[in-house]
Structures are given as C-alpha cells and as structure tokens.
A and B are shown apart, each in its own frame.
Chain A
Amino acid sequence: MSTFQYDVLVIGAGGAGLMAALYASKSANTAVLSKLYPTRSHTGAAQGGISAALGNHEEDHWEWHAYDTVKGSDYLGDQDAIEIMCREAIDVVIELEHMGLPFDRTPEGKIAQRPFGGHTRNYGEAPVRRACHAADRTGHMILQTLYQQCIKHNVNFFDEFQVLDLIIEDGVCKGAIAYEIDTGEIHTFHAKAVILATGGWGKCWSVTSNAFTLTGDGAAIVLRHGVPLEDMEFFQFHPTGIWKMGILITEGVRGEGGILRNNLGERFMERYSPTLKDLAPRDVVSRAIYMEIREGRGIDGKDYVYLDATHLGRERIEKKLPDIADFCRTYLGIDPAEQPMPVQPTAHYAMGGIPTDVDGRVIVDANNTPLYGLYAAGEVACVSVHGANRLGTNSLLDLVVFGRRAGIHAAAFANEIEFQPIPDNADEPTRELVERVRTHDGDENVATIRAEMQKLMMNNVGVFRTEELLTEAVEKLKELKERARNISIQDKGKRFNQDLLEAIELYNLLDLAEVTALSALNRTESRGAHSREDYPERDDENWLKHTLIYREEDGSYRFDYKPVTITKFEPKPRVY
C-alpha cells in the first residue's frame, strides 16, 4: 500500500479525462487513474463526428446549433450551458486540429463536415452539415490525439488502476482509493481536486453499443456518498445497433444518405418526421422503429428493420464509412454496398449523471451548492446540455468543452488551497469491501445476476415504459440486489483478479439500474428519450424540471427537483 499526493486527480482516460488532464497539468501536479489503458477507453468507439458550427460547407451559426440542441433535448437542457458548449465548439474543434487531429478535408483543405440527426439550418428548416469527422472513426482520432498530447506533455498515468471509492468528508472531496489491478494492492490518492470522467453505464442493458467495461463506477460511487444523480430516467437508445449484438452503426450512415426501411420496403420515417425523415433525432427514430415492429412491419416479423445504404455506392461506403463496412463483413457476413443492414435500437448514452455547473464542479442540490474539490466531466456528468435527448455528435463536443473547463477550474482551485488532512484509515471501507467479495461464500454467480438485470432493463426500462413495467422493474431489481449480496467468486488471488472487479462493477450497475427505474417511474410524462405510454404527452406545467435522486443512509431513495435554465428558447411543441 502507498499514499500518493497530487494536486489534481483525474479518474478516467477517455476524451473527457484526457482533455481535463491536459489542461490541469499545465499549472498543477496532475495524475490520471484509469482502469483501462487510456487508448482502450470507449471514446475510441465513437464514429460519426463532433459538431461545431464551422460553416465550412454552408452557412452555419452557433446560435442555430444551440437551438437544435435545446429542441433536441425536448427543452430539458439548461440553455446557459448549451450556449457555452455551442459557442466554444468552434474554438475547441480548431484546437483539436491544431493538436494534429486528422480530420477529413474539403477540397479547399478545411475540416470536412456532414449532416447528422437533428442538426439544422436556420432554426429547423433543413439538415445542415455540422458534424466534423474523420471517416467513421472520429472518436478514435480524438482519443489518440489527446493521448498523444498527454505523452508529449509528460502527464502522469496510473494505468489499470481501478478507483473503488472517493475520500469525501464534511462536504469536501480529498482524494480517491484505487485498486491496482496487476497486484491487488489498494492505494490511497490524496488530492486537492478530483475530476471524475469514468463514462457511462450502458451495461445495465442487454443490447448496448457500450463496452463491457462501461459500468458507471464514478456515478455509483458518488451516489453512495450522498451526492444526487440528475435526470437518470433519460437514457438514449440509438436507433441503429446491429441486430442482437448492439454494435453501433453510426448515424453517419444516414448522414451520408442511408435510409431505414420496414418489411414492405417503405421509407417509414417519412410518416414520423416529414421534414427531417431519417435524420430526425434519435428518440424519435427509435420510437418509430418500435412502432413499425409492433405493427408487424419488422423484417420477417422479427424485432428489427433494415438500414439501407446500397444506393450510396461502394466507393462512398468504403471511403466515408470503412469501419461500418468492416463490422458488417465481420459480424454479419454481409456487404453493405449490396445488402441492407439489420438494425434495432441499442442502449447507448446516459443523458443523466452527476450534476455539475458549467465549470464541472459537482453540485449537490437544487441551489447549486458545490461539493468542494469534486468535479465531473463527460458522459458521467450531467451539466445538463443534453436534457431529455442528446443529439448525435454533441457528446464528443461535451467531452472536450467541459473536460477543458473542468481541468482549468480544478487546477485553479487546487492552486488556491492547501491539502486537507485525510484520516489514516480512509481506505478501510474499500479494504472491507474487497475482502468481503473475495472471501464471501455464497451460491450466486455474477454473470447470472448481471444477465437477469440486463434483460429486465431491456424489457421494462427500455424505449417504451409504463407504470406496470417500471414497478415490476423496481421490485425485481431489489430482489437482484438482495441476491447479489450472496455472490461467491472463484478467483481468490491478488494478481489481475477480474473476477473480483466484475463483482464490484455489478454492484455499481445494480445501483444505477435501480435509480434509473425509480426515476422513470417517478416522472409521469413523456419527454425526449423517456416515453411513458401511460403518460404520452409532455407536461411542462409539472415536469419542466430536472430530477435529483438521493440515496439515504438506510438505502432508501428521495427525490428533489431543480429548475431548467431557459434563456432564449421558450418550450414549444417538438415537431420535426
């Protein structure tokens, strides 16, 4: 065991964590802890693009981008934060280019842009080309570029260190407790500021575009420390995952002209979204696919539809969507230039998360009271710029804009204060947890409980929800949590004990599944990705507000609410 001391500790090495680390390390002694090698982070999976109103192909303005984001969020996004994001987008994308990011280029040599769902010209008139891209591997390029810059600037990395707890005392965060995967040692990291950038929790669901390692550790840890989670009922289902596998087929396919078709060959999106059609926002398209399936128009009567790109031509596909073509060949044995791709909605992105202000500071109540020393950025955070539904390409943007802001603010904060003393036994709860999981002799298995939870979440807390389904989910999750106490693992060793870590990750997933189901049951309206069949309308009078869910000491939950910040755009009916 050792104790390390850093001014700023960044937990997570995806786009958000690396951006925060680059900025924090300019003026503060900074270390990055990551349970994966940084380049394994799921930011590398992002395909389609990062949005910024550069206007490289046609007229565009950040105000249009802000409007689209607000409307896309079904008016739940905080408009002050959205304005910051869309304004800073231009400068941050240029900064990435200056760091060497290899964007695709226009004939004049500028950054190339493509259309994406919900991004429009002049407040909703027609799609606009706003997504800056590098083929269909934009996230890979962002992750690589940021990691390369971290190497260049000698940022300290602790790779394969899994954080299991935070040190929070008297409303101040003072560090983290990490498990060194290789050795099984538990280390204390004493810090002045901690930035959580641990990504999402798609692994709560059975069909997901998310990595096996996206288990929401950061969100679950703060929840147990009494920090609320915001808007957890809003989880995005991306309309086009590979049938049964969930692997993502980027919206960029539709951006390039791909079309969704049912078993009759109909372009059914024309009925659901006359203006934007296949480029409507994700919540709209995912619901449309489910409606088609429900009305018997899935392919072969099954639960999928076709994404047709055959008319784009082989050259365009190989050039603009090479990785998608590769996935289709590898996993489906089909050639997308010849055959349509079987797709179904896949659990994709957490709009909700740890509440923060626009500088990444974690806040603990409706009055925006900060928890000193604790920051969050990226998918784990809820600023909230995505509200009830995120537009494609806005997450990569969120990572770099708010990762940067969090890094700058955390370093400035750290430079103003002294290290706060931490207790000698700060790691005690973690040691107990690890020992209990390692030695407990029960008759339950991690994989079985996880699979049951994932299926339950898919069926009951998916695209369409009802009181009945959600109530059942809440009850069953309670049972699963009870059973999970009786898990027994087989690996009792210290070296690279993933058996142990998977059990701890399951506890995190179960907590997040539970708060998701509870928040969804609580919100009796339909808005964005949260679609209640028993409350099909948006209800601004009662529900134009953010949910905060708190866990009490006794394990029960309590709700509170936070007003939505509205600056320019008053809520209107949302038609596309």
Chain B
Amino acid sequence: MTDDLETFRAETREWLEANVPASMREPVRGEGDANWGGRKADYSRNPDQKLYMDRMAARGWTVPDWPVAYGGGGLSPAQAKIVREEMGRIKARNPLNSFGISMLGPALLKYGTEEQKLEHLPKIARGEIRWCQGYSEPNAGSDLASLAASAEDAGDHYIVNGQKVWTSYADKADWIFCLVRTSKESKQGGISFVLFDMESPGVSTKPILLISGYSPFCETFMDNVKVPKANRVHEENKGWDVAKYLLGHEREMISGMGLAGPGGNPLIEGAKASVGLDDDGRLSDPILRAQLALFEVRSKAFTAMSERFLDELKAGRAHPAQPSMMKYYGTELNKSRHELVMATGGSDALEWESEASNGGAKPRAWLRTKANSIEGGTSEVQLNIIAKRILELPS
C-alpha cells in the first residue's frame, strides 16, 4: 500500500510538473486570477486558465475523490491528499473555483437521483456550468428557515415566485440551487430544494455594490419561474436536510480561508519591506513582530487542525457540527490575517486603484474577509451550533 502510494506520488508529481502551466503557479493576486468556469467565462485574459482546467478535468482532478462516472478522479482519500500536497508543493492554483464542487456536488452525491447526478456532476467537474446559491432572502438570513420564496405545485412542475438576496455571482452563474417554500404548515418541514437555469423566463438579477468596491453579489428575483419537478433534489418539503448538509460543506470550504497559502509568507515579507529590520535582524517594530509571531502560532496550529479535520471527515470520524467550528475559527483567523496585512502595508496598502497596488488588491481583499464571518452563517450562528450540538448546552 505505502509502496503504491509512493509510486502514485511520483507519477502525480511528474504529471503536474509537465501539465501545470507556469502562469498557474503564480499566487492569486486579485479576483480576476481565479477561474470559476461556466458558460460566461472569459479566458481571453489568460488562456492558460482554460488549458489548465481542461487538463485537470480530463484526469478527474478538479474533483479527485468523486467517482469516475461523475467526472471525478475516483481517488482514495490518501491519493486525493497526495494530489493536494503535490499541487501545494509547486504552488499550483486551484484549477477551478466552484460552488458546484464545494457545495452542490456533495449534496447531489448524497441526495440526488442517478439521473440528477449524471446530468449535473460531470458538468460541474469540467467547469461547464457555474452555480449560485439561492438561500438568503431579505427577511431570512441567520433565521434561514423563515424563507418565503414560494413554489406552487403545477402538476409536473412548480411555479416559483419570490426574491433572494446576497446571491453571490448570480449575474455570472448559469444555474442556481434554490430553497423554496412548498408548504406553510411547518417552518423547516415546508422547504424544498430545487435547481433551475438562470436563463429560465422570469429570473432576473441586480448586482449589489460591496464595501470592497466590487459587486459580486446580487438580488435575484423570481417571477413565475417554471421549474420541472424532476429538478427537485430529495423529497418535497424535505429540502432542509439537503440545505443543512450543503451548509456543512459550505462552511468547510470557507474555513479553508484561515489557512496560510502555499509558498513564502507574504505577511512577513510585507512587514520587512515596510518597517525594516533592526541590527539583530528583527522587525524594527517589536509590537508588530510579536503580533505577527502570535498570529503565526494560531495560523500554523489551524493548518494542523484543517489536516486533522479532513482526515477525520474522510474516515467518518468528525462530529457533524465540526464544520461550524472550522468555519468560525478559520474565518476569524483570516480576518486577523488581513488586519495584519493592512497594518504591515501602511500607506502602500491603502491605495485603491493604482497599478502598484494591483488595483487596490490589499484593501479590497481585507474588506472582503469581513464577509467571511457573515456568509455561510455568521460566527455567532456557528458558536450557537457548537454550544448546542457539540457541547450540548441547554436552550
């Protein structure tokens, strides 16, 4: 077994060396550097993105541990870990960022029919269809189950009406996975989980400008949208099960933001450049140095926690509410990382549009991280879940 894994590692290393384009081994510097796939993707800026994604997808390595039949690599957890490690070693970028991979895919694998899996999963794996998430509504955020968007039974299809909000990338997405109310009898027990094409008649979106100056998310309006019942995942009125399962995966994905990226430590390099070193080779701002060092402790410990979490997850040993702990810690940690990025960057890190600042990448990223502890369920909500479900504290 170990021998096999060593061989697998050697082959993986060789293949990645030969197939990951040089420009895909550069750090991600801004939003444009991430590839999200989909029908509306624009690869004219860097055709390597598509080349790299296609090569990885052909091996099933955009989703290494999904079954081959659904576009995956069919790898064992140990092999998938090797692929991740070897990608990290050469600082390879993520070939495809995707809500389909990290959120909808796992939910379909668990709750989808065979037809639904064969229809949607391979397109996700190949980056052909980009998905967005229609959960939140103006009056249903943390209290998600109070959602009101309705799906009326019309025989073989539903008629969906209502409004979603904070729908990330709704204007760029091809399809949406959406929570709708199919019964008013019960709050959680009246929700269904449906999929539909964003080009369906009656769907419209309106971007919302964020504090980062970007507008990645939207209001999404549904006006008599016809959704075939075949597009409902799991039973009618049982969508909450799917929604919660998917949220676990969303939290898991978001928690990854607490991790130090591969390669050197830009935080430290930034600090050296801005405050300089003293005669002993230490940062000449001792308080900043101490803050950075203590941040390193937590960041490295959290990296170990992520490894442990993934290992436990793969072995079916993780507490089902553990993603909440990961999401909470990872996002709070990532926010403090970016506070330090700003603190070390000083006035350079304040430039909003200059070429030198890569279009204000630092302040924009700093502002974006403030959403980490809101999206996918706020930190407060995660703490509630830990308290109730892990520590079993009383209501």
**A, B bound:** no
Residues of B within 8 A of A (CB): none
Residues of A within 8 A of B (CB): none
